[in-house]
Chains A and B, each alone.
Chain A
Amino acid sequence: MVSRRDVFKFAGAGGVGVGAGLLLGEVNQRPLETLLSTHIPPEDFSPGLDTWYNTLCRMCPAGCGISVKVREGRARKIEGNAAHPVNRGGTCALGQASLNALYNPDRLRSPMRADGEGGFVPAPWDEAFEELVSRLNALEEFAMGRQAWVLTGGALSSGEEALSRFASALNARVLRLALDTTAAERAAAKAMYGFEGLPHYDIANADVIVSFGADFLGSWRSPIAYAKAYGDFRQGGQGGRGYLAQVEPRMSLTGANADEWLAAKPGAEGALALALAAELLRRGYGDAATSAWNGLSGAMSLEEAARHADVPAARVEALAGRLAAAKAPLALGGGAAGAGSNGTQALTAVAALNRVLGAAGGTVRPNLAHATAYSGLRDIEDFAAQAASGDVPMVILAGVDPVHDLPESLGIRKALERADFVVSLDSFLNDSASLADWVLATDNFLETWGDDISSPGAGMLTATLQQPVQKRLHDTLSVTDIILKLATRLGGAAAEALPHEDAQAFTRSEWEAAWESMGVSGDFNARFRRAQQDGVWAAALAEGMADELSPEAAAPQPPPAAEFAGGEAEYPFVFHPYATQGFREGVGANLPWMQELPDPLTSVAYGSWAEVNPATARELGLRTGDLVELESPAGKVSVPVVEYPGVRPDVVAMPLGHGHRANGRYARGRGANAASLLAAQSDSATGTLAWAATRVALRALGKRGRLIRTSGVSRTLGRQILGPDGEH
């Protein structure tokens, strides 16, 4: 049977071989916008016929493979690459909307130079390079020990590799920035499973899942891969219909789909997980490693833990019973549960529960990808301190917007203001770029080369190739192109480390080197062309290649009580920021389709909101739409409230990613930035940012806010819309 997706693939394969080559020759030219361009069309260009290119989605770190429909030389539609092992043909709303980034009216169309009065003027590339090269040369001569800083994200890609080489050639320090650093989860995996990196969770084949804060259907890790697995977990999987319990203070998208939602107190998830582990040990579960744990004598009893977490003990006991009876149980931990002051201990407790359940090695497997080590708070504070003392001569922002995405309290805004020279490599004049001296307009990911090591599952290595699907719309270059050109112009160590002509050449050389090191033989060109056609190269890992979990694991320590910034008396609510699939930490805000998409849970569009429990709202005399001021020790924002039945009465939740000060017409001034409320708390074990460890006070402002909700009445009123009553 030939599916449509297969058809796409074949169609794409035909087009790519020739089409890509043609495009490549032209990537560095100015875009051509004349009527004549279709008069003598490129070979892949047949009016009325689609050409499909397989490439990589760069909207979030998950690294899904996509097939892009190109018609008349323009990308028109994103589909999932059915042959890609991560997303298997699925896409998310954000991925679909990536075309909005490509065609965004506010995308930078050429390099921009700050005019010294807060504005920017277009400037030619040559001027930009000249300025940068002279700055970098000066840095080499007169820096006197002062280092340049490179601020970047954390993809496992050749682009990052080029950046790293460039940074080390310059002797620059690199900050890898993200709000959710995965540090706690990696530390937990190291402690309990004995390997570096993030585990792969086999959701499809689990029959009982208990998830502590991990919103794997929403924004956690690789939501599309997990959603694919979730479909099988629910229906058509091996073990009948799976059972999902979600433990979190605010019902996430995953919580909304769970069979059971336990509104645990923030910071108490770890204790609950450990108590479950201890209870199951008592019932005789466990593997070789856990026999030495002495039954986790330090853990709370189930009842204690339930009381501690403020959830009904009976339900926790029932959950323990379910886990005990499960054939393939799985515990997940993440999100806010791993972002408290005790985040690492909490996730370690969850991992311990997996060990006790026998899930380690079963539904929990190691995998290689996405183990980027993000910078801890110490490094960021170091950066801020050096900037404050005037010791930062140059900052290169490589496609990150830390001023918006990270807490104001980390001082990145001030650091950028104090730095001598800031250059931002970005497609948009975002909150960080607008503080720069130069903004170098970068390509959209659909216009350039790159790759990513995606996380497809255990026992497999997957590299996804990113290739241009159309000519550049504007006078832009990719980050890698810019780095390579700079390196060439700089000469010296940089040119030696990066002798490649452009991103395409660099990507090819990286792939060649990688294949060589793995002993993959055969004609490189043919193989690479094949990867271009498929959009992905996947191989089974050789035997023994980090596919084993350590049989040993020390007994986990009971998680300490969670600490929050701000006293309970002054700040009575725990602040629960969360990432949504559409906005994540801010990437979706300038996409009109995302702004216009009602939030899956609250149906709010265009703007942000704060979720309060209806009982709390009643107590404070608030109604949905009333404007409130949220104040934390780190800052305050005003935002309309939404009465949300899925949040604890002592918690106020707020989505991340809104409230940009710049970043184009769709993002600017819409909603409030939840990150600006976060105090610089750290995870006690890893020293990374604990973004769920701040308390807030809530004050009604006595007026109505701007809140658009598409849902009228979110109750069925006894109407049998969700199916006839009484049949299951």
Chain B
Amino acid sequence: MSSVLRQQMFDHGEPAYAEVNRDVIKALTTTTWRYWVTLGISAGAGLLFFFAPWIYQIIVGVGAAGMNRNAMWGTYLSNFIFWIGLSHSGTLLSAVLHITQSDWRKSIYRSAEAMTLFSLMTAALFVMVHVGRVWFVHWTFPVPNPMELWPNFRSPLMFDVMAIMTYLTASSVFIYMGSLPDFAAVRDASTGLRRRIYAILCFGWRGTGHEWHTLGWAYTFFAVLVIPLAVSVHSIVSWDFALSTVPGLHQTIFAPYFVCGAIYSGTAGIVTVMWMLRRFMGFGRYIGKLHIDNLSKLLLVLSLIWTYINICEVFTGWYADTSFENEAILYRIKDGPFAWLYWEMIFFCAVVPLLLFSRRIRQNWNVMLVISIVINIGMLTERFVIVASSLPRKFLPDVFGVYFPSLVEISITVGSFAIFTTLFLLFVKIFPAVSIYEVKETLNPLRKRQAPEQEARA
């Protein structure tokens, strides 16, 4: 890695090896009252806004939500897709960048992967919130049973269950494996109970050459495995929609559309999380200009692809020239009650990111925070608009209706962010949020005992 790049990676100058250990482990061990307050608020909000209404909904029935005869799916499903989408960048980006040996990934990938994990978990929660009889949700798993009743493998929802479980497993293993040396580092730096816990967590990592070699091999293997998974997961999620006959959902472009949108929103999510880590966890030193600039460029490219696909979608609807498709598109972008949301989404996700052509904006963390949040609001709306503008108006005009989310749904949507935040707050106190050993790999080789630049890349 060139020194110029290195300079951009670390805002306040390159840290020493020991400093890396100290900084990262300090974030684990020293906890201010602010952290506890934040954790308390966020966990409380999760309970109040997510679990309380959910329990109410379980008691009275899904009718507590605003869905009706026409719109059998609502915000629960659109949020599910949003959270799956948000999960997309972490692991995928980490894996892609690992394989392409982009060193700048090393200080951000751990948190990004954590984001993947937690948004997947939040998404899985939404599946349970969505279904009518959550107490039977295990029937979606192929659990052997005396009735020989199996799940329906033709069902896109079944694909979903499989894809998400696989992705969740692979992502968990991926992040855990990458954290092993760091757990060991924490173990070495601590005493008492913490030491014993991390001793178990790190599987007795000793740092021998053989261990490093095996880790490197296994890590690369998982990186290769995770990439197609990430693409397949959101393709499969898109098939929940595309395999239906519903005008506005039944579209061949949906798989790339969803994958692109997912990575887009996930990348924006990473930017947001990075800003938080810099601001609140003191990782400003490790997450620098290079990261934000690269992420922003990625965002820009994704935004352009996303815009293109949106144009395709509308074009296809118009070109189909059937009442079904035409009405669905018109209702979505012009006549429906959520047309303004469609244009909001276009503005947020297609117009605003054009600012990223400017390097000054790309490298301004605060502006990027705003843009990243705006993009994710747009993406949240995108999923909502797709569901809420298609389902109430399918084929038979006599049953056309409208759908508005109820208070319970809105509350649960808000609560899901609290859940995600809570999980993330817990994560930063358990996992070293920045990869210690990999950051060290990028440090100035002159400070190492014997490490030419080529070896650092290897």
Interface residue count on the B side (C-beta < 8 Å): 12
Residue from B70, B397, B399, B401 in contact with A717 in the complex, judged by beta carbons closer than 8 Å: B397
Taking a contact as CB atoms under 8 Å apart, the answer to whether B398 and A712 are in contact is yes
B323 within 8 A of A: yes
Task: Provide the bound-state CA to CA distance between A712 and B403, in Å.
Answer: 12
B417 within 8 A of A: no
A40 within 8 A of B: no
Task: Provide the bound-state CA to CA distance between A711 and B399, in Å.
Answer: 6
Task: Provide the bound-state CA to CA distance between A714 and B327, in Å.
Answer: 15
With most chain A CB atoms within 10 A of its CB, the pick from B324, B393, B398 is B398
B56 within 8 A of A: no
Which residue on chain A has the smallest CB distance to residue B398? A711
B396 within 8 A of A: yes
Taking a contact as CB atoms under 8 Å apart, the answer to whether B398 and A713 are in contact is yes
Distance to closest chain B CB from A340 (angstroms): 35
In the bound complex, residues from chain B placing their C-beta under 8 Å from that of A710 are 399
Which residue on chain B has the smallest CB distance to residue A711? B398
Task: Provide the bound-state CA to CA distance between A719 and B247, in Å.
Answer: 13
Taking a contact as CB atoms under 8 Å apart, the answer to whether A712 and B395 are in contact is no
Distance to closest chain B CB from A489 (angstroms): 54
Taking a contact as CB atoms under 8 Å apart, the answer to whether A719 and B400 are in contact is no
In the bound complex, residues from chain A placing their C-beta under 8 Å from that of B399 are 710-712
In the bound complex, residues from chain A placing their C-beta under 8 Å from that of B323 are 717-719
Task: Provide the bound-state CA to CA distance between A713 and B397, in Å.
Answer: 5
A715 within 8 A of B: yes
Task: Provide the bound-state CA to CA distance between A715 and B327, in Å.
Answer: 13
A525 within 8 A of B: no
Task: Provide the bound-state CA to CA distance between A714 and B396, in Å.
Answer: 9
Task: Provide the bound-state CA to CA distance between A710 and B398, in Å.
Answer: 8
Task: Provide the bound-state CA to CA distance between A713 and B392, in Å.
Answer: 12
Distance to closest chain B CB from A599 (angstroms): 14
List residues of A (361-420) whose CB comes within 8 Å of B's CBs.
none
Per-position binary interface string of chain B over residues 392-429, scored 1 when its CB falls under 8 Å from any chain A CB and 0 otherwise: 01011111110000000000000000000000000000
In the bound complex, residues from chain B placing their C-beta under 8 Å from that of A717 are 323, 327, 397
Task: Provide the bound-state CA to CA distance between A244 and B397, in Å.
Answer: 28
A721 within 8 A of B: yes
Interface residue count on the A side (C-beta < 8 Å): 11
A716 within 8 A of B: yes
Per-position binary interface string of chain A over residues 610-652, scored 1 when its CB falls under 8 Å from any chain B CB and 0 otherwise: 0000000000000000000000000000000000000000000
Residue from A712, A715, A719 in contact with B324 in the complex, judged by beta carbons closer than 8 Å: A719
Which residue on chain A has the smallest CB distance to residue B392? A712
Taking a contact as CB atoms under 8 Å apart, the answer to whether B324 and A714 are in contact is no
Taking a contact as CB atoms under 8 Å apart, the answer to whether A712 and B327 are in contact is no
In the bound complex, residues from chain A placing their C-beta under 8 Å from that of B395 are 719
List residues of A (674-728) whose CB comes within 8 Å of B's CBs.
710-719, 721
In the bound complex, residues from chain B placing their C-beta under 8 Å from that of A712 are 70, 393, 397-401
Per-position binary interface string of chain B over residues 59-81, scored 1 when its CB falls under 8 Å from any chain A CB and 0 otherwise: 00000000000100000000000
List residues of A (214-266) whose CB comes within 8 Å of B's CBs.
none
Which residue on chain A has the smallest CB distance to residue B400? A712
Distance to closest chain A CB from B387 (angstroms): 18
Task: Provide the bound-state CA to CA distance between A721 and B397, in Å.
Answer: 9
In the bound complex, residues from chain B placing their C-beta under 8 Å from that of A714 are 397-398
Task: Provide the bound-state CA to CA distance between A316 and B397, in Å.
Answer: 34
Which residue on chain A has the smallest CB distance to residue B327? A717
List residues of B (306-333) whose CB comes within 8 Å of A's CBs.
323-324, 327
Distance to closest chain B CB from A624 (angstroms): 14
Distance to closest chain A CB from B140 (angstroms): 32
Taking a contact as CB atoms under 8 Å apart, the answer to whether B324 and A713 are in contact is no
Distance to closest chain A CB from B403 (angstroms): 12
In the bound complex, residues from chain B placing their C-beta under 8 Å from that of A716 are 397
Distance to closest chain A CB from B389 (angstroms): 14
Which residue on chain A has the smallest CB distance to residue B396? A721
Task: Provide the bound-state CA to CA distance between A19 and B34, in Å.
Answer: 81
Per-position binary interface string of chain B over residues 122-160, scored 1 when its CB falls under 8 Å from any chain A CB and 0 otherwise: 000000000000000000000000000000000000000
In the bound complex, residues from chain B placing their C-beta under 8 Å from that of A721 are 396-397
In the bound complex, residues from chain B placing their C-beta under 8 Å from that of A711 are 398-399
Distance to closest chain B CB from A495 (angstroms): 59
Per-position binary interface string of chain A over residues 256-294, scored 1 when its CB falls under 8 Å from any chain B CB and 0 otherwise: 000000000000000000000000000000000000000
In the bound complex, residues from chain A placing their C-beta under 8 Å from that of B396 are 719, 721
Which residue on chain B has the smallest CB distance to residue A718? B323
Distance to closest chain B CB from A708 (angstroms): 12
Distance to closest chain B CB from A715 (angstroms): 6
In the bound complex, residues from chain A placing their C-beta under 8 Å from that of B401 are 712
Task: Provide the bound-state CA to CA distance between A719 and B393, in Å.
Answer: 13
Task: Provide the bound-state CA to CA distance between A712 and B70, in Å.
Answer: 10
Which residue on chain B has the smallest CB distance to residue A712? B400
Task: Provide the bound-state CA to CA distance between A710 and B69, in Å.
Answer: 10
Distance to closest chain A CB from B446 (angstroms): 73
Task: Provide the bound-state CA to CA distance between A716 and B324, in Å.
Answer: 11
Distance to closest chain B CB from A116 (angstroms): 42
Task: Provide the bound-state CA to CA distance between A717 and B398, in Å.
Answer: 10
Task: Provide the bound-state CA to CA distance between A718 and B327, in Å.
Answer: 11
Distance to closest chain B CB from A16 (angstroms): 42
In the bound complex, residues from chain A placing their C-beta under 8 Å from that of B393 are 712
Distance to closest chain A CB from B388 (angstroms): 15
Task: Provide the bound-state CA to CA distance between A713 and B70, in Å.
Answer: 13
Distance to closest chain A CB from B330 (angstroms): 11
Distance to closest chain A CB from B265 (angstroms): 32
Task: Provide the bound-state CA to CA distance between A712 and B324, in Å.
Answer: 15
Distance to closest chain A CB from B404 (angstroms): 15
Which residue on chain A has the smallest CB distance to residue B393? A712
Task: Provide the bound-state CA to CA distance between A718 and B393, in Å.
Answer: 15
In the bound complex, residues from chain B placing their C-beta under 8 Å from that of A719 are 323-324, 395-397
Distance to closest chain A CB from B317 (angstroms): 15
With most chain A CB atoms within 10 A of its CB, the pick from B323, B324, B397, B401 is B397
In the bound complex, residues from chain B placing their C-beta under 8 Å from that of A718 are 323
Which residue on chain B has the smallest CB distance to residue A603? B398
Which residue on chain A has the smallest CB distance to residue B401? A712
Task: Provide the bound-state CA to CA distance between A717 and B324, in Å.
Answer: 9
In the bound complex, residues from chain A placing their C-beta under 8 Å from that of B327 are 717
Distance to closest chain A CB from B25 (angstroms): 61
Which residue on chain A has the smallest CB distance to residue B70? A712
Task: Provide the bound-state CA to CA distance between A719 and B395, in Å.
Answer: 8
Task: Provide the bound-state CA to CA distance between A714 and B395, in Å.
Answer: 13
Per-position binary interface string of chain A over residues 494-536, scored 1 when its CB falls under 8 Å from any chain B CB and 0 otherwise: 0000000000000000000000000000000000000000000
Distance to closest chain B CB from A198 (angstroms): 37
Which residue on chain A has the smallest CB distance to residue B402? A712
Distance to closest chain A CB from B206 (angstroms): 69
Distance to closest chain B CB from A322 (angstroms): 32
In the bound complex, residues from chain A placing their C-beta under 8 Å from that of B70 are 712
Per-position binary interface string of chain B over residues 7-24, scored 1 when its CB falls under 8 Å from any chain A CB and 0 otherwise: 000000000000000000
Task: Provide the bound-state CA to CA distance between A712 and B391, in Å.
Answer: 13
Distance to closest chain B CB from A707 (angstroms): 14
Distance to closest chain A CB from B318 (angstroms): 15
Distance to closest chain B CB from A97 (angstroms): 22
Task: Provide the bound-state CA to CA distance between A397 and B323, in Å.
Answer: 58
Task: Provide the bound-state CA to CA distance between A718 and B395, in Å.
Answer: 11
Task: Provide the bound-state CA to CA distance between A160 and B395, in Å.
Answer: 53
Per-position binary interface string of chain B over residues 347-361, scored 1 when its CB falls under 8 Å from any chain A CB and 0 otherwise: 000000000000000
Task: Provide the bound-state CA to CA distance between A713 and B396, in Å.
Answer: 9
Per-position binary interface string of chain A over residues 75-110, scored 1 when its CB falls under 8 Å from any chain B CB and 0 otherwise: 000000000000000000000000000000000000
Instruction: Supply 10 further A-B pairs (C-beta < 8 A) apart from A712-B393, A717-B397, A721-B397.
Output: A711-B399, A712-B398, A712-B400, A712-B401, A714-B397, A715-B397, A716-B397, A719-B324, A719-B395, A719-B396
Using CB atoms and an 8 Å cutoff, list the residues of chain A in contact with chain B.
710-719, 721
Using CB atoms and an 8 Å cutoff, list the residues of chain B in contact with chain A.
70, 323-324, 327, 393, 395-401
12 CB contacts below 8 A, A to B, read A711-B398, A711-B399, A712-B398, A712-B400, A713-B397, A714-B398, A715-B397, A717-B323, A718-B323, A719-B396, A719-B397, A721-B396
- Ranked 7 nearest A-B pairs via Cβ: A712-B400, A713-B397, A713-B400, A718-B323, A717-B323, A719-B323, A711-B398
